[in-house]
Chains A and B, each alone.
Chain A
């Protein structure tokens, strides 16, 4: 009970209070409430890790101090809410599409989606019981640093004294959240990293389900969850306890709130700020999050140039950057507080001479050869199901989706280009680096790819009203 309160209830309250202040409310529809619940916990995990980071930079954190700080944060946001409540324009995302006409099949697809979540949990727990330390990066980087934060007297000095292979410079979201839970629980509970890892795909599925349900219908939403778990690494990587799945959660949350804001709220600044907040959380979770933080505003600017509405799109991009700036400042504080000269053998992720690799023809050929192979491996034995599914359902571009679909597809392209550039300049041999990392990188993209594909799918009602915003439920 105490564990659930610390791990779920308190972060949910923190996230919920922030959503309330931003003016977000659930409508009477179930998927709208589910979306607010998932976002609350997702935001709460990131914010509570940031609060832990702030506290631990100043004093050795104790349960009492942390509770005081977290309760104080909730009280401040509640006070702001009461001060602003009359002026606030509320955002309640409501579905405008008619439900899918063959309603009889929907419970079956929903049951299949729920069964997938249960199977993922069963697989993860069984694997974790055999490998409780998780994958290599979990025990050599993330949870190792959590142990230093929990057991050490001068937590960040201790982390900074680690040798470079333990990457004391990696963004500390996961590390700080796990340590925060141990401090609040008063002991190092081994299940905390697993629970954190399990929450990420469950919340990703919840956000994707709610998002697609609001954009299309419940039938398409449950199919989106099923397709989310199509690649085996979506399940297999959970017990490795890495930061890629929380990163995927924040990227998915950002793209879903962006799509809903552009489609249902005509680019409301509150929705765009929330998009930025999620992208800031992504950067706080893993360095790749910065790529997405930059890609989406650039994609908006490019869309504006293409359609002759540059200033409007630049304004929207500005709101996104404004929403994420808090976590970017926090990340800068973290990065600039690291005494790099005292860390033995810290390998730079992008050495300056790495740009010479651009002229290394063989490296380019190897990248072009290996990346498609690893993409096929990511899809697994049933990878063919994804194209087959959309061939069967048919696809069409709805004009009312254009406000978010073009920027979203451009964001995916820019992010993919940035990841490719990173592969080019990093010093690791591609034969080792690509097979080791492609699965994890695909996890960042996959939920957004599913979201974009589902919005293109022909899974609307076949009647004439399909694709038109006719009914505000």
Chain B
């Protein structure tokens, strides 16, 4: 049986051993480096996701809401306005634009994460009279420590801490 050669000569064993050793050592070194860096970050607590602590809070919050499928959402006013123009805008392509500020990206992340923790309630950005009775707020500073008692058309029901608060729509 004829063999078509991509390299003309038979490869010597020493070259193949070199290839095996090179690949093994460098790939292992890269993987050890990744695992080590992660271990250091874990030990120092440098990178811990700050939003995950909200999970238990929001899961507790939704137990206080009567059965329903839609839950309103609000946040700091400027973030609320930004979300209304992106996440709830048909023109947004779902991508994070290079023009977005870190604060705006944080606002989008808080919205998606709140939706994740609040499932099976479906979040809807609170826009006024026609929305759900109950509204969850996920604030960043300065509102995170001290949620306002009243927001436009909303009244504070309970501050759960960690930036999370439950509001109820005002009827009058």
Distance, CA A232 to CA B32, complexed state (A) = 11
* Interface assignment of B41: CB less than 8 Å from any CB of chain A: yes
Asked if A394 is at the interface (CB within 8 A of a chain B CB), the reply is yes
| Residue A108 lies at the interface, judged by CB distance under 8 Å to chain B | yes
User: Contacts A119-B35, A345-B90; is A139 near B19 (CB within 8 Å)?
Assistant: no
Contact mask for chain A residues 374-389; partner B; CB cutoff 8 A; 1 contact, 0 none: 0000001110010011
Number of interface residues of B (CB under 8 A): 58
B84 part of interface (Cβ distance < 8 Å): no
Tell me, yes or no, whether A123 is within 8 Å of chain B by CB. yes
B22 touches A108 (CB 8 A): no
Asked if A5 is at the interface of the complex by the 8 Å CB criterion, the answer is no
User: Which partner residue on chain B sits nearest A427 by CB separation?
Assistant: B93
User: Of the candidates B26, B38, B97, which one forms a contact with A127 in the assembled complex, judged by CB atoms under 8 Å apart?
Assistant: B38
**Contact code string B138-154 (vs A, CB < 8 Å = 1, else 0):** 00000000000000000
Count of A interface residues, CB-CB < 8 Å: 76
**Cβ-defined partner of A432 (8 Å) among B22, B55, B96, B109:** B96
Bound CA span A115–B41, Å = 21
Q: Which residues of B contact A436 (CB under 8 A)?
A: 95-96
* B6 near A226: Cβ-Cβ < 8 Å: no
Residue A122 lies at the interface, judged by CB distance under 8 Å to chain B: yes
Is A48 part of the binding interface, using a Cβ–Cβ cutoff of 8 Å?
A: no
Residues of B within 8 A of A123 (CB): 31, 34-35, 38
- Rounded to whole Å, the gap between the CB of B35 and the closest CB of chain A is 4
Contact indicator per residue, chain B 1-17, by CB within 8 Å of chain A (1) or not (0): 11111110111010111
- Asked if B23 is an interface residue, CB under 8 A from chain A, the answer is yes
Question: Is A2 close to B, CB under 8 A?
Answer: no
> Contacts A158-B69, A223-B20, A395-B7: A115 and B28 contacting too (C-beta < 8 A)?
yes
Q: Are B49 and A133 in contact (CB-based, < 8 A)?
A: yes
CA of A192 to CA of B34, assembled, Å: 23
A-B contact pairs, 30 of them (CB 8 A): A101-B13, A112-B24, A115-B28, A119-B31, A119-B34, A120-B31, A123-B34, A123-B35, A126-B39, A129-B42, A130-B49, A133-B51, A147-B116, A151-B119, A152-B120, A153-B120, A158-B69, A165-B87, A229-B31, A345-B88, A345-B92, A392-B11, A392-B22, A393-B15, A394-B16, A399-B2, A399-B4, A429-B93, A431-B98, A456-B6
